[in-house]
A and B are shown apart, each in its own frame.
Chain A
Amino acid sequence: MKKRGIGYASTFYGTGYGNGFPDISRAIAELGKDGNVYIYVGATEVGQGAKTILSQIAAEALGIDFSKITFICEDTSITPDAGTAAASRQTYNTGNAIKLAAEELKREIMNVASEELNVNTTNIQEYLKKIADIKGDKVIRKDGIFTASTTEMDVETGQGNPYYPYTFSVYGVEVEVDTSTGIVEVLRAACGQDVGRAINPKLIEGQIDGGFSMGLGYAIMEDLNVENGKIKHDRFTSYLIPTALDMPDIDKIIVEDPESTGPYGAKGIGEPVLIAVAPAILNAIYNAVGVRMTEVPVTPEKLLKALREKERGA
């Protein structure tokens, strides 16, 4: 028999390294000889869209077209350290560093425009090449450094300000459980995600899909099967991750409530989009069949066993 159920889960998540660990992002903004703006930053693109979002932040701060930005990252010989692409921190932390560097660069370009060209404007795009030509080999180059707010928690009281800012997220999931085989199918899902400000809504939707697939795998598939310290599921034929066919359609609700310390109000969402998925799925399983699973992944084997135990007990 197939039984359906709905489950919800919510989370709030502190982004950045946290607990007093030094969390510093650095960036350089430069007006190149060709009149384009070069952003040098150590941030790593791992598919999350950092290159796009960080370029957008630079273009916004300078008030110039996205196409005028040349973004250079992942080359430690020419880029300053922006920390790891981890802890959901690149948009917020490195975004702030780039914004600071780009604002500094814009101020300097405006100064040069005023002094050398007798132009007083905030709209600098059409003067970029002229100013680059005037400066010649002495390119204008500005640093931006952003240090995140974090303090170590008091070991006695457990109190302090370990993270800043926090991101909020809610998932609703509907599942169908086949009570004769223990197979769980996720039929549909909805995600309400606080983002501060959506710098790039499409990329946020992509992150939600990606986070959901990870949460889905975590909830019902991904099993290392460790025996005596050895991983038995040591390849992707046995360590299963969801395929596109296993993914439901997700209704994505992007909640914008600008964070005053974020670049244009933006906050990190990389991990937050994953965290509430598995508990929402397990709650939906409970709602469908009345069995409270307390260990992931909920494989058909474990769920069928729990269902039979419940039947015997009833």
Chain B
Amino acid sequence: MEIKEVFKPKAIEEAIKLLDHYQEASKIIAGGTDLIISIREGKEPAPVIIDVSSIGEIKEINEIDEWIEIGAGTTFTNITEAAILQGRYQGLIDAAASVGSPQIRNAATIGGNICNASPAADFIPPLLALDSLLIIQSTDQIREVKLEDFLRDKGKVALSSNEILTKVKFKKLNKGQGLGFNKLGLRKALAISRICTAVYLEVSEDSKCNEMRIANGSLGRYGLREKAVEDYFKGRALTDDTIRIGGGLLKDEVNSRLQGRSSAEFKREAVDGVFTVALTKAIENCSHRKGDLI
């Protein structure tokens, strides 16, 4: 489809008015690292493009009460440079740093990564592990939805044609809480993840797992939580033995989920190694001092 019109609103209000007017005929562009490719391939049906890259409100990262809020227009480079995310949220920074190349990270936004809902989206697993909420706006309302409920299928999200994702938010991490991330790509840059895993961990003062949330990418039709494995760890000490058993459970989960796919044999084996590193990083990030669990 030929592009007929391009709008460049400066405020969310303007953008949602345009969306309301054009509905399915319009498509939002931010960094364009996915959209430009599909336009060039002639796969993009919308003749109207709404460029949100000049809307300042959706590019901020803020601490508000007990929440961290990240604007959907934040680029991966912005994430890697955010002082507020250093330390306990290192998993978010690692995930952002693993996306594409510097050129892609300078342009691509987290909102695009979420709304395109690729099974291999690197930023979705850490946000799932943080139990993130999305803030979505239209002319009628502002609504909140859990990221987990927003993802419907490969490339499909619960977003109406008159809505725009403006922010992602999650609870601030405190003492004993941390996020780890690890990715298996086939090279060190510009690699689409074959597996990516994020682990949110809360440890008690006696080094037991109070809570764990594990989310994987590239192991299903979209980013998924691994609740069976999370349940196993809850209340247990994190030892070599429990990590091995937990990794084994994850292998079984992945094996049954990918049954019949050519990649199953590799991914069910490799996920264990990828998860173990993500968990080890989560343990490290729970503390500002390495080796000190609390």
Contact = CB atoms under 8 A, between A and B. Distances in A.
Task: Please determine whether chains A and B interact with each other in the same assembly.
Answer: yes
B192 interface: yes
Interface string B177-202: 00000001011111110100000000
A178 B183 CA distance: 13
A305 B187 contact: no
Contacts of A123: none
Contacts of A305: 265-266
A279 interface: no
Contacts of B266: 182, 300-301, 304-305
Nearest to A307: B269
B270 interface: yes
Nearest to A297: B186
Contacts of A304: 266, 269-270
B190 A243 contact: yes
Interface string B256-291: 000000010110011011101000000000000000
A183 interface: yes
Interface in A268-308: 299-301, 304-305, 308
A157 interface: no
A245 B188 contact: yes
A63 interface: no
A180 B270 contact: yes
B188 A182 contact: no
Contacts of A183: 184
A147 interface: no
| Chain A residues touching B, range | 10 to 19
A182 B270 contact: yes
Contacts of A245: 187-189
Interface in A197-255: 221, 237, 240, 242-246
A298 to B, nearest CB: 11
A133 B192 CA distance: 64
Nearest to A242: B187
Contacts of A120: none
Contacts, number: 48
Contacts of A237: 192
B188 A300 contact: no
Contacts of A260: none
Contact of A180 (B188, B189, B191, B273): B273
A246 B270 contact: no
| Chain B residues touching A, range | 10 to 19
A303 to B, nearest CB: 10
A181 interface: yes
A274 B188 CA distance: 21
A300 B184 contact: yes
Contact of A221 (B187, B263, B269): B187
B189 A243 contact: yes
Interface string A19-37: 0000000000000000000
Contact of B186 (A180, A299, A308): A299
B194 to A, nearest CB: 8
Contacts of A242: 187
Nearest to B184: A181
Nearest to B262: A301
Given A300-B270, A304-B269, A304-B270, A180 B190 contact: no
B98 to A, nearest CB: 11
Nearest to B269: A304
A304 B194 CA distance: 14
B187 A246 contact: yes
B188 A243 contact: yes
A300 B184 CA distance: 10
A180 B276 contact: yes
Contacts of B194: 300
A295 to B, nearest CB: 15
A246 B263 CA distance: 24
Nearest to A247: B188
Interface in A175-192: 178, 180-183
Contacts of B188: 243, 245-246
Nearest to A236: B190
Nearest to B276: A180
Given A180-B272, A183-B184, 19 more contacts: A178-B273, A180-B269, A180-B270, A181-B270, A181-B273, A182-B270, A221-B186, A221-B187, A240-B186, A243-B189, A245-B187, A300-B184, A300-B186, A300-B194, A300-B266, A301-B263, A301-B266, A304-B269, A305-B265
23 contacts: A178-B273, A180-B269, A180-B270, A180-B273, A180-B274, A180-B276, A181-B270, A181-B273, A221-B186, A237-B192, A243-B101, A243-B188, A243-B189, A245-B187, A245-B189, A246-B188, A246-B189, A299-B186, A301-B263, A301-B265, A304-B269, A304-B270, A308-B269
Closest 10 CB pairs of A and B: A180-B273, A245-B188, A301-B266, A243-B189, A181-B270, A181-B273, A245-B189, A246-B188, A246-B187, A304-B269
